[in-house]
Amino acid sequence: MNVLPQALRDSMTVFERGWLSSNNVLFRSAEGTAIVDTGYASHAPQTLALVKQRLGARTLDLIVNTHLHSDHCGGNALLQQTYACDTLIPASEAHAVRDWDEEALTFRATGQRCDRFGFTGTIENGATLTLGGFDWNVLGAPGHDPHSLMLHCPETRVLVSADALWENGFGVIFPELEGDSGFAEERAVLDLIAKLDVDVVIPGHGAPFTDVARALDVASSRLDYLRADPARNAKNALKVLIVFKLMEVRAMTLDALVTMTTQARAMRAAADALAPSGERRGLIENLVGELARGGSVQVSGATVSAA
């Protein structure tokens, strides 16, 4: 069912992607064409194919990134090579992209990858973009990521929430893994969304939805649960990152997974919050066992694979 307002149905297309990629939002209007977020690097050819199919003979004029986690900007490079389009990124990430600091950009920290891309401009809280013939307000959305942004169109009452709000939660609160504040920021973002005029939310993952009040209640309860015991956030983060990596490479040995949780900074921080470094292997074995029982992974001998 298409839940988009009638006014946007001709100018906006939501490509709902499965993991590993974030959703992509494509705009077409007399002012030009644009895409918000571009998925993961290994899915870049799929992203390009979707864009080409929808745009036809038109070119892509603009990429807008809500934040620079690898699953939201991994298609940037290929789209830039194909269309020579402009690219807007969060202003606070400009230095890291300019220097291509993969540690600051969290690609290495999460054990993920992203092809190098450039940018032609920046956006930040308080800016306004014209997309699909309508004005969209840029709103800061720290919590999941300190640099993250959302896009809100008051006229159509649509919110592109990225990973700040999903229908059943929100993205991992990564800052808390390394001792920075993230729970309080996520709470403030949920409070902000509750005050906006919003009929439809387009999340970073999952289908667009209309029951915003329910989603906010679910997210609020989830946040309270995580905040009550930060180890819960660490455990969730480590499981998410393990499954993400396995979905990318399909299979790894248990030894390789243990090594990755030592080398990738965010994974190491999450693991350290759950067990001493000398107990790392046992921790990963237990988490893999839980994931296997939940149907997310399969284990065959010393090999762990995506389900």
CA max distance for the chain = 60
Question: What tens digit of pLDDT does each residue of 156-175 get?
Answer: 999 999 999 999 999 999 99
Which pTM was predicted? 0.97
Average pLDDT, the chain: 97
**Which residues lie below 8 Å from residue 3, measured CB to CB, with a gap of 6+?**
200, 208, 209, 210
> What single-letter DSSP state applies at residue 304?
E
Distance CA 169, CA 147 (A): 19
Give the pLDDT of residue 159: 98
Q: Could you write out the three-class secondary structure of 200-224?
A: EEEECCCCCECCHHHHHHHHHHHHH
Average pLDDT over residues 135-152: 98
Q: Tens digit of pLDDT for each residue in 209-267?
A: 999 999 999 999 999 999 999 999 999 999 999 999 999 999 999 999 999 999 999 99
Spatial distance between the Cα atoms of 146 and 85, rounded to a whole number of angstroms: 26
Q: What is the percentage of the chain residues whose pLDDT exceeds 90?
A: 99
Residue 89, SS3 per DSSP: strand
Q: What are the structural domains of the chain? A: 6-228 (3.60.15.10), 232-306 (1.10.10)
Question: With 80 as the cut, is the pLDDT of residue 154 above it?
Answer: yes
**Coil/strand/helix, residue 83:** helix
Q: Residue 1: is its pLDDT beyond 80?
A: no
Q: Give 59-71 pLDDT, tens digit per residue.
A: 999 999 999 999 9
Phi, psi of 257 (to 5 degrees): -65, -45
Specify the pLDDT at position 239.
Answer: 98
